Amino acid sequence: MEHREEVASRYAIVETGGKQYYMVEGQTVAIEKLEGEAGDSILFDRVLFRKVGHESFEMGRPYVDGAKVKTSIVKQMRGPKLVIFRFKRRQKVRVKKGHRQSITVVRVEAI
């Protein structure tokens, strides 16, 4: 029995906020905070790679010309809490800090 991971027929790799995100049509993606309210539409034009059919794809140098990914904001939220703990043994140095990153959840509507 062979295990094959099913690859989506339409997806894109988009750059925003200095990071790259894999976006599949119809799915939600949690990305770094973007301005806007729930229901607002966002258009990503920094598309690095786009697959539109079974054997049809486009690679950008660095971006694909004319390619856009249309998304809508589902919600604005905060990510999980990360604990940063610095410790030096035998020197009474203990520093505990926490951080929660703001994230935006978007639904990919069209590639």
Residue 100 lies in a domain: yes
pTM of the predicted model, to two decimals?
0.82
Strands (E), the chain: 11-16, 19-24, 28-32, 41-44, 47-51, 57-59, 69-78, 82-88, 93-99, 102-110
List the domain range (segments joined by +) for residue 79: 11-110
Q: Does the pLDDT of residue 4 top 60, yes or no?
A: no
Residue 105 lies in a domain: yes
Residue 19 lies in a domain: yes
- 87-97 average pLDDT score: 97
pLDDT at 8: 72
Contacts (Cβ under 8 Å, ≥6 apart) of 100? 78, 79, 80, 81, 82
